[in-house]
Chain A
């Protein structure tokens, strides 16, 4: 059928299916899942429900936190001092599963987050991490050549600004508080939310007023 499609591509590409041969760890995961269900530790429905719950989280939550921090100096201060506490107490976001370190971008400092050991990421406020965040290339290069990696994201950091990398190796999770772009002063919180993207909260991009 795809080949009769009048919109057929003029190039070949692999079919979009995940039916390649399974690797060792895929087999292991599938076997473990089957055993746990068979033994009644949890049901297939439980597992589906938790995946659905994880997928309800998205960068929109992080964007709300950022917009609040931009418009409320007191909240910003509390957020930078104790991230988890400020988010739980003052935002309508539950199940903040780990301590949050909020790092603030300024005219002098740009922050970027990576997990060199695996893919630690604040899923509960940003949703699941993008594939590039989990790639070997990002994880190994972001610590060694952060400015070069940021350039590949289209993010040129002024040589005079300090680039501060955060390797998320243990129990903290990180949220970058991006700089509020010029010309957006006085915008209401719900309008600011729209210009804050996922990558600006990981530190691979800066917020643009145009969105």
Chain B
């Protein structure tokens, strides 16, 4: 069970640097170990780099050391898109590591596309 729902495919990355991606707005409950912070679910950013493929922590956390590897990305988000009341420089960003099965291609024209 990897995060509940969207499949994470193999280790060949589905996204490339520069791609606009939206973090899945899933909120699975129960005994979970999810490395996707709540505050970024549903937000749209841009792939900063592909980090490689790493064992899925959602399985590793429960002792499955043969967990499948999942591509991991660093995704850059505009702070003003993440926090409605963000008061700093509009150019301020936040980079977050997110596993592929938590990312979807952004719908075109989605607001908050990280510049």
Contacts and interface: CB of A to CB of B under 8 A. Distances in A.
B1 interface: no
Interface of A: 99, 101, 116-117, 143-147, 159-172
A164 B37 contact: no
A117 B95 contact: no
Contacts, number: 75
Interface string B27-61: 00000000111011000000000011010010000
B92 interface: yes
B14 interface: no
Interface in B57-109: 57, 72, 74, 79, 82-83, 86-89, 91-99
Interface of B: 35-37, 39-40, 51-52, 54, 57, 72, 74, 79, 82-83, 86-89, 91-99
A82 B35 CA distance: 23
A162 B92 CA distance: 5
Contact of A147 (B88, B98, B99): B88
Contacts of A144: 39, 83, 86
B114 to A, nearest CB: 11
A101 B74 contact: yes
B91 A162 contact: yes
A190 B54 CA distance: 37
B94 A164 contact: yes
A170 B54 contact: yes
B96 A169 contact: yes
